[in-house]
């Protein structure tokens, strides 16, 4: 009896601890099979939390279509370097929409200095926005293997704010004395970037701006020739935690846990994710890094680099950003070369999370 009581007490204590640390979810939990039977490939969804997640990922309605025809922007405006092949009407519609996606409270003045001509490049925000236009076009045109026909607009990342909610910068160097608490080695500092674990808190620099191999499984039985070490495995795990969190899924959405490295037993989503990693590297290296001299110091990280994208910047907890709403289709400016006649406005099909 005593023993039972003792266990009961510790069980209650454990329950309380679980509640306190937030690692328990209030039921109901639904499970959805994602792989063959017996492979334990299953997603656990909580309909209550999913409803909140869906409400937070609704795309805004597209602006009414611009009138067809009329002169090209390049023939009328003085300083258009990216959107010259749009009609003036479509160009104006684009300016109004990107204002609502990026600077709804500040308005046109966020990028165009009042009192100056609209052609002036005085504000850094306009220079950044021009690069963002090129970046968005590159995402939609060159990265179809990842973004498919869903594509992205400024809203995918910005969601009505001039600074996207989810970005990363290089982590500051550790200030801890190596002698006192041991070497921190870029980890053991619980971080939300890696799901509040003490895994390496900056897997992004290595894998999403650097292009280090994301591999840990060794192919030989004995250590001979195996170049994969423990820090490497920990960093990979950190990145995988970030990827799972960003999409709101667990590891088996992409992997069969009997062999994490084997593509033959992985899901098609893992292939999409592979392309996503390459796309993120390209966005960070070709579009954001080159803006380093344009951004003011208060927008940069502790080591002086610009904020960059990871999976969470677009996905924000959903397997497809904005639940797969096809928003970009309604905006020729989001594709390049933009078609001369604007694409028809299509209804937004929302694909609920699987």
CB 234 within 8 A of CB 199: yes
Considering only the stretches 17-25, 37-45, 64-72, 117-125, report the one whose residues sit in contact with ligand HEC under the rule CB under 6 A: 117-125
- Residues 6 or more apart whose CB falls under 8 angstroms from that of 120 comprise 79, 112, 113
Q: Does 272 bind ligand HEC (CB under 6 A)?
A: yes
Of 164, 141, 142, 144, the C-alpha closest to 333 is: 141
Compute the distance between CA of residue 66 and CA of residue 204 in angstroms, rounded to an integer.
Answer: 40
Among 42, 260, 285, 350, binds ligand HEC (CB under 6 A): 260
Q: Does 42 bind ligand HEC (CB under 6 A)?
A: no
Among 42, 113, 189, 270, binds ligand HEC (CB under 6 A): 270
Q: Does 320 bind ligand HEC (CB under 6 A)?
A: yes
Q: Does 86 bind ligand HEC (CB under 6 A)?
A: no
Nearest residue relative to ligand HEC (C-beta) = 148
Q: Does 113 bind ligand HEC (CB under 6 A)?
A: no
Q: Write the burial class of residue 95 (CB in 10 Å: 0-12 exposed, 13-18 middle, 19+ buried).
A: middle
Among 240, 323, 325, 327, binds ligand HEC (CB under 6 A): 240
Compute the distance between CA of residue 260 and CA of residue 248 in angstroms, rounded to an integer.
Answer: 19
Q: What tokens appear for 353 in the block? A: 């999370």
First to last CA, the chain: 47
* Nearer Cβ to ligand HEC (8/144): 144
Among 80, 171, 193, 325, binds ligand HEC (CB under 6 A): 80
Residue 159's CB: how many other CB atoms inside 10 A?
A: 18
Site size toward ligand HEC (CB under 6 A) is 83
Compute the distance between CA of residue 26 and CA of residue 22 in angstroms, rounded to an integer.
Answer: 10
Q: Does 285 bind ligand HEC (CB under 6 A)?
A: no
Q: Write the burial class of residue 60 (CB in 10 Å: 0-12 exposed, 13-18 middle, 19+ buried).
A: middle
* Nearer Cβ to ligand HEC (174/196): 196
Q: Does 111 bind ligand HEC (CB under 6 A)?
A: yes
Q: Does 98 bind ligand HEC (CB under 6 A)?
A: yes
Among 35, 49, 89, 126, binds ligand HEC (CB under 6 A): 126
CB 151 within 8 A of CB 320: no
Compute the distance between CA of residue 291 and CA of residue 272 in angstroms, rounded to an integer.
Answer: 28
* Nearer Cβ to ligand HEC (189/228): 228
In the Cβ-directed half-sphere of 190, how many Cα atoms lie within 13 Å?
3
Q: Does 118 bind ligand HEC (CB under 6 A)?
A: yes
Of 59, 53, 86, 50, the C-alpha closest to 347 is: 59
Considering only the stretches 12-20, 21-29, 56-64, 272-280, report the one whose residues sit in contact with ligand HEC under the rule CB under 6 A: 272-280
CB 90 within 8 A of CB 66: yes
Considering only the stretches 30-38, 44-52, 198-206, 255-263, report the one whose residues sit in contact with ligand HEC under the rule CB under 6 A: 255-263
Among 321, 323, 325, 348, binds ligand HEC (CB under 6 A): 321
Compute the distance between CA of residue 152 and CA of residue 313 in angstroms, rounded to an integer.
Answer: 11
Residues in region 217-236 near ligand HEC by CB under 6 A: 217, 236
* Nearer Cβ to ligand HEC (177/211): 211
Among 171, 194, 199, 311, binds ligand HEC (CB under 6 A): 311
Among 41, 171, 193, 307, binds ligand HEC (CB under 6 A): 307
Whose tokens are 């921190």? That residue is: 184
Q: Does 265 bind ligand HEC (CB under 6 A)?
A: no
Q: Does 323 bind ligand HEC (CB under 6 A)?
A: no
Among 41, 59, 66, 128, binds ligand HEC (CB under 6 A): 128
Whose tokens are 């041991």? That residue is: 182
């Amino acid at each position: 009896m005593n023993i039972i009581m003792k266990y009961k007490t510790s069980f209650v204590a454990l329950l309380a601890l679980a509640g306190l640390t937030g690692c328990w979810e209030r039921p109901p939990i639904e499970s959805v099979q994602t792989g063959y039977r017996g492979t334990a490939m299953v997603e656990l969804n909580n309909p209550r939390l999913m409803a909140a997640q869906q409400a937070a990922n609704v795309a805004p309605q597209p602006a009414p279509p611009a009138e067809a025809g009329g002169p090209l922007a390049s023939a009328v405006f003085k300083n258009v370097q990216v959107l010259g092949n749009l009609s003036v009407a479509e160009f104006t519609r684009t300016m109004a929409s990107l204002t609502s996606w990026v600077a709804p409270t500040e308005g046109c003045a966020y990028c165009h200095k009042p009192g100056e001509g609209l052609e002036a490049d005085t504000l850094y925000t306009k220079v950044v926005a021009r690069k963002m236009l090129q970046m968005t076009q590159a995402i939609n045109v060159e990265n179809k293997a990842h973004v498919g026909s869903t594509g992205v607009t400024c809203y995918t990342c910005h969601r009505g704010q001039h600074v996207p909610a989810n970005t990363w910068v290089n982590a500051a160097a550790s200030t801890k004395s190596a002698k006192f608490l041991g070497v921190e080695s870029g980890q053991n500092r619980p971080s939300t970037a890696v799901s509040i674990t003490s895994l390496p808190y900056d897997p992004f620099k290595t894998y999403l701006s650097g292009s280090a191999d994301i591999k840990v499984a060794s192919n030989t039985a004995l250590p001979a020739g195996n170049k994969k070490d423990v820090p490497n495995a920990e960093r990979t795990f950190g990145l995988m935690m970030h990827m799972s969190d960003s999409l709101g899924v667990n590891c088996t959405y992409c992997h069969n846990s009997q062999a994490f490295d084997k593509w033959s037993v992985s899901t098609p989503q893992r292939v999409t994710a592979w392309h996503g990693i390459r796309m993120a590297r390209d966005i960070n290296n070709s579009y954001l890094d080159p803006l380093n001299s344009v951004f003011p110091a208060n927008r940069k990280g502790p080591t002086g680099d610009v904020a960059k994208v990871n999976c969470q910047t677009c996905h924000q907890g959903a397997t497809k950003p904005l639940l797969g709403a096809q928003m970009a289709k309604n905006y020729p400016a989001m594709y390049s070369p933009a078609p001369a006649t604007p694409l028809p406005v299509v209804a937004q099909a929302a694909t609920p999370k699987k």
